[in-house]
Amino acid sequence: MDKIKRHAALPALAAAIAIFVALTASTYQAKDNGTFEVRDLIGSREAIGDVAIRGELRDGVHRTRFRIEEGRMRADTELFEQPKQADFYRYVPGNSLRSGGMEYSVQNTISLHTIQSRRLTDQGYSIPVGSAEVVPPPIRRDSDDPNEGFRLANPPEYGLARIGDSVYYTVPVSSRFVGASAIYELKFYQWGFRSAIDPKDYAPRKLADLPLDANESGQGTGIEILGLEAVGDRLALIFAENGALHVRSYDVRTGEPLGEATVPEFRLPAREGDSGASGVASFYEGYEAYPDHERSTLTLNFRRGSSVADRIDMTALSFGFAGGVELADRTDLAFSDGEEDTHSGISLLSYRDGKLYAIRSYRGPETEQPRALFDIVRPKHLYAYVYEQSKLIYKGEIVTDWNEDNIRVYNQSPYQGSFGYDQTDYRYFTNVVIE
Amino acid sequence: MKGFYRLLNFEFAKWLAFIAAVCAVAIFAPPIMLHRQLKHYSEYAVNERFEEVYASSGSVLLFLILFALVCAFFLITVYADYWGSKSVYTYLTLPVRREALYFSKAAALVIGLLLLLTAQLIGIRLGYSLYESKIAGYGDGQFVMRNGYFLAMVRSEFFRLLLPLSFSRMLSSLGLLLVTATGLYYVALCERSRKYSGFVVVAAAAWLGIRVLGYRLNETSHYGEPTGLYMSTVLLFALSGYFVWHGLRLVRRGAIA
């Protein structure tokens, strides 16, 4: 015993250090032990062999970047030096436009649309930088209509597009607007200095005229501008006229129209003057836009009224902008994999080489996990779909452990109170991209 | 060097029984406390995550108590030299350099703290195994999180403090350990040599340590730029260095007699 006592210190130190290092190493090595795999549900995985799908699954303390290339999944986990706040941004059509570290939003009145630019910071807030103004075209009065004068075809942010350092805007006019509208290149003045500037110096540059003669008579559905999108270095104007959808491309320097594609039989719901051609499905005006600047394509996704319960019906229209504009693909999509996740859902479309790729996330039905009694913790799923010539040829699920973060809420009843849902404690997908 | 080795083992021998008991408690008490906490867990109950059960079982508090006990025991070993036989005089006349005297006591404390830390981590690992085997026993294993031990270790602020997995946090934890050990010894040396002004520096170190701890235990709520904590870590190391330097001076001069 005495002998042990005379030499105990250093072995004790060595043992403590050895165990500590071993525990640290084994914990660190466990970082990539989570599930990350692709499960084929329909068709063969070869369908996604031509593209790479990448993205990340993160919470407040770590993130796993994954990449599916040639059908194989690779994932690598990174621990944050310091826990990070959740990044809540996701593409929601009609919300502020984000581009190049800036955020643009529109405040509109009958006589003036003010576009505000804000610089985004890493800490999740933004700083106002500049403002620009556009005068909208006049509105045809109709004293019978209680909503007189307050209708745009879409939220005004649909009319924003950014190419390089320039921001373009057109008012998403409804058929109530008359006279002439235009596509403008905006000129921003310092935010907050409205009274100190001469508005003439900051008048927007008119790029292209958009006559609204079709709206003068008040007969028929007239012309409605649904939005403006940037595709590479071209502008794409999306508008509906005479029961058809038009996509017109503009040269961003000269404002010359470069071509136009027309999709016939395109009805917007509940429009005055609509003769109501029966049998033609109506499309909701709030579209999602997925431009591919490298390949000069633009995929527009229009929601349709669904006749089947729990099914989401959409039509994806893909346009090529290489020469003029041409409709490259039209695919009717019908998803019945669950409810849309409005909180942190992923929605992505990409058209290339004759195939339409879709990545979408859903909340599963209530029956999938009966222990999850709050909607927000119902199991979620992320799927990849591939369509070729409007036919679904592949569907796969990107399987991870993200739903297990909800286990702590199982059996928690809404009748016993609530629980704190802090996104830093629950993993979520973000930055999902098709390459 | 030989003198130091002997003194260190002599010092550490005083610790053996005590630190063995502390480690045994740190290893085996958390699983027992967790077991109590998990008594009502079933497939019909709300199953909290491991890190929450661990904290609510009192195991975090237990660590604080054991930590305080180790510190108190160290002070006892220092002050014991002045009681009864007044062996401090014997120490000061030993034919070894007085630095060896200083470092043997300080090293014994550092070893003691490291042993406690390691034991607590073993207790966490054991506790997780217990937790996992308990919740895997019902509901078709639906309550088990895959890779749950890792997730608990990176998500819990307390676990990240004990077992940091990034470089800046490792340095920060090491700084906290060193400043505690050297500061504690320095307090005793200052008191014995009646250099009460040293308490001011110790108070500054304590304030800094508490600031760092507070930051580390609440990192997500900070809105500012993420910090590497390098500045505070450098300060912690500098303060430790000062405590050692001045403590050594006090011992060398025999001011502690």
Q: What is the mean pLDDT of residues A24-33?
A: 95
Count A/B contacts: CB-CB distance under 8 Å. Answer: 125
* Interfacial A residues in 42-81 facing B (CB < 8 Å): 59-62, 79-81
Q: What is the mean pLDDT of residues B212-238?
A: 83
Q: What is the mean pLDDT of residues A405-426?
A: 87
CA distance A301 to A317: 6
A113 and A36 in a single domain? The answer is no
Q: Which two tokens stand for residue B85?
A: 């036989």
Q: Residue A368: its chain B contacts at CB < 8 A?
A: none
SS (H, E, C) chain A: CHHHHHCCHHHHHHHHHHHHHHHHHHHHHHHHCCCEEEEEEECCHHHHCCCEEEEEEECCCEEEEEEEECCEEEEEEEECCCCCCCCCCCCCCCCCEEECCEEEEEEECCCCEEEEEEEECCCCCEEEEEEEEECCCCECCCCCCCCCCCCECCCHHHHEEEECCEEEECCCECCCECCEEEEEECCCEECCCHHHCCHHHHCCEEEEEEECHHHCCCCCCCEEEEEEEEECCEEEEEEEECCEEEEEEEECCCCCEEEEEEECCCECCCCCCCCCCCCCCEECCCCEEEEECCCCEEEEEEEECCCCCCCEEEEEEEEECCCCCEEEEEEEEEECCCEECCCCCCEEEEEECCEEEEEEEEECCCCCCCCCCCHHHCCEEEEEEEEECCEEEEEEEEEECHHHHHHHHCCCCHHHCCCCCCHHHCCEEEEEEEC
Q: Among partner residues A12, A61, A408, which is closest to B115 by beta-carbon distance?
A: A12
A194 and A263 in a single domain? The answer is yes
Q: Please, are residues A330 and A315 in contact by the beta-carbon 8 Å criterion?
A: yes
A332 and A430 in a single domain? The answer is yes
A133 and A274 in a single domain? The answer is yes
A168 and A256 in a single domain? The answer is yes
Interface test with B, best of A13, A17, A415, A418 (most B CBs within 10 A): A13
Q: Which of A91-95, A321-325, A431-435, B227-231 has the lowest mean pLDDT?
A: B227-231
pLDDT tier at B159 (50, 70, 90 boundaries)?
Answer: very high
Measured over the CA atoms of residue A422, residue A424, residue A429 and residue A433, the dihedral's sign is positive
Residue of A nearest to B116 (CA): A16
Q: Among partner residues A13, A79, A424, which is closest to B165 by beta-carbon distance?
A: A79
Please check whether residue A372 lies inside any domain of the structure: yes
pLDDT tier at A151 (50, 70, 90 boundaries)?
Answer: confident
CB contact under 8 A, B219 and A82: yes
Integer angstrom CA distances of residue B26 from A23, B184, B250: 16, 22, 35
Q: Which domain holds residue A172?
A: 91-278
Please check whether residue A292 lies inside any domain of the structure: no
CA distance B140 to chain A (A): 13
Integer angstrom CA distances of residue A366 from A247, A347, A370: 41, 21, 6
Please check whether residue A296 lies inside any domain of the structure: no
CA distance B84 to chain A (A): 23
Per-residue pLDDT tens digits for B63-84: 999 999 999 999 999 998 888 7
Q: What's the pLDDT at A142? A: 67
Residue of B nearest to A2 (CA): B13
pLDDT tier at A279 (50, 70, 90 boundaries)?
Answer: low
| pLDDT > 80? residue A343 | no
Please check whether residue A412 lies inside any domain of the structure: yes
A153 and A64 in a single domain? The answer is no
CB contact under 8 A, A9 and B44: no
Residue of B nearest to A83 (CA): B220
A165 and A54 in a single domain? The answer is no
Q: Residue A122: its chain B contacts at CB < 8 A?
A: 225
Q: What's the pLDDT at B57? A: 95
Please check whether residue A8 lies inside any domain of the structure: no
A361 and A245 in a single domain? The answer is no
Q: Among partner residues A30, A61, A407, which is closest to B147 by beta-carbon distance?
A: A30
A337 and A269 in a single domain? The answer is no
Per-residue pLDDT tens digits for B21-63: 999 999 999 999 999 999 999 999 999 999 999 999 999 999 9
| pLDDT > 60? residue B85 | yes
Q: Among partner residues B118, B149, B166, which is closest to A20 by beta-carbon distance?
A: B118
Please check whether residue A138 lies inside any domain of the structure: yes
CA distance A356 to A351: 4
CA distance A387 to A354: 9
The domain total for chain A is: 2
CA distance B163 to B165: 6
Instruction: Give chain B's mean pLDDT.
Output: 92
CB contact under 8 A, B163 and A424: no
Final residue belonging to a domain, choices A278, A293, A308: A278
Which DSSP string corresponds to B104-124? HHHHHHHHHHHHHHHHHHHHH
Residue of A nearest to B111 (CA): A13
Helix (H) or strand (E) holding B165: none
pLDDT tier at A249 (50, 70, 90 boundaries)?
Answer: very high
Q: What's the pLDDT at A69? A: 94
Final residue belonging to a domain, choices A262, A278, A294: A278
Q: What's the pLDDT at A305? A: 80
Residue of B nearest to A16 (CA): B115
Q: Residue B146: its chain A contacts at CB < 8 A?
A: 33-35, 401, 404
Q: What's the pLDDT at B222? A: 60
Q: Residue B147: its chain A contacts at CB < 8 A?
A: 30, 33-34, 401
Query: Vertex A108, ends A104 and A111: CA angle to 5°?
Result: 135
pLDDT tier at A345 (50, 70, 90 boundaries)?
Answer: confident
A262 and A116 in a single domain? The answer is yes
A143 and A221 in a single domain? The answer is yes
Instruction: Give chain A's mean pLDDT.
Output: 89
| pLDDT > 60? residue B197 | yes
CA distance A326 to A296: 11
Please check whether residue A140 lies inside any domain of the structure: yes
Per-residue pLDDT tens digits for A185-244: 999 999 988 888 888 889 999 999 999 988 887 667 789 999 999 999 999 999 998 889
Say if A411 is an interface residue toward chain B (CB within 8 Å).
Answer: yes
Q: What's the pLDDT at B71? A: 97
A156 and A264 in a single domain? The answer is yes
| pLDDT > 70? residue A147 | no
Final residue belonging to a domain, choices A247, A263, A278: A278
The pTM assigned to this predicted structure is 0.89
Residue of B nearest to A31 (CA): B150
| pLDDT > 60? residue A278 | no
Determine the residue type at A131. Answer: S
* Interfacial A residues in 367-386 facing B (CB < 8 Å): 371
Q: What is the mean pLDDT of residues A47-67?
A: 94
| pLDDT > 60? residue A148 | no
